[in-house]
Chains A and B, each alone.
Chain A
Amino acid sequence: QVQLQESGPGLVKPSGTLSLTCAVSGASISSSSWWSWVRQPPGKGLEWIGEIYHGGSTSYNPSLKSRVTISVDKSKNQFSLRLSSVTAADTAVYYCARRLFSSSWSIIDYWGQGTLVTVSS
């Protein structure tokens, strides 16, 4: 069974950098999967942040691209999110997830439980 677990500070100061890590178990981060981050502001909908492939290829949401970095640590079977220059608008539950794909479909099949990050002084 694939499991993903987010970890990181629950409180970040405005203008600071949000850093989260997603530990993956039950699957190799070097498998044919994209490893994704999705966020959800309190009471609102889902926003795709970006993803990384184990080889290092990344894809980011243009709305966040200037502030986002996603990286992978194969030795620890985990991947990470960094979001710089945060404001209150970045307060959200952050989910890590796995995206599988083929020539004829794509899915996010496993999600972490989510971690709430609040941006406040």
Chain B
Amino acid sequence: EIVLTQSPGTLSLSPGERATLSCRASQSVSSSYLAWYQQKPGQAPRLLIYGASRRATGIPDRFSGSGSGTDFTLTISRLEPEDFAVYYCQQFGSSPYTFGQGTKLEIK
């Protein structure tokens, strides 16, 4: 099983700042099969990024993804108030399709 470790656990930033979230895999994951989701309280996750760097439909261009192998990054260039949420990475490279434990992005 591929273990995904996200860091930091909590990130405290202000609107307008840049956020950098990390997802590290216990073994190499094809970048084609790494996705990022945003989840707000009481809601289902929403797909942000797939294939490590492709934005899903309707996702603003302030969200970007990068990385390969075992190290992946989600960057939010300028935080908007609605971006404060929990973010998860997920790999589809091998079953079980594991999630990271999440990074909570909170308002400073």
Taking Cβ atoms with an 8 Å cutoff, the residues of A that contact B are 45-48, 59-63, 95, 97, 99, 101, 104-109, 111-114
Contact = CB atoms under 8 A, between A and B. Distances in A.
A106 B32 CA distance: 7
Interface of B: 1, 32-33, 35, 37, 39, 44-47, 50-51, 54, 56, 88, 90, 92, 95-102
A95 to B, nearest CB: 6
Nearest to A60: B96
A105 B51 contact: yes
Best-surrounded residue of B47, B95, B97 (most CB of chain A within 10 A): B97
Contact of B101 (A45, A62, A105, A114): A45
Nearest to B6: A45
Nearest to A104: B32
Nearest to A63: B96
B44 A95 contact: yes
A109 B47 contact: yes
A3 to B, nearest CB: 12
Contacts of B97: 48
Nearest to A111: B44
B44 A112 contact: yes
A61 to B, nearest CB: 4
A45 B102 contact: yes
A59 B50 contact: no
Given A101-B92, A106-B33, A114-B44, 4 more contacts: A46-B45, A46-B99, A47-B99, A107-B35
B1 to A, nearest CB: 7
A106 B98 contact: no
A51 to B, nearest CB: 8
Contacts of A108: 35, 37, 45, 47, 90
A109 B96 contact: no
B45 to A, nearest CB: 6
A46 B96 CA distance: 12
A63 B37 CA distance: 23
A62 B96 contact: yes
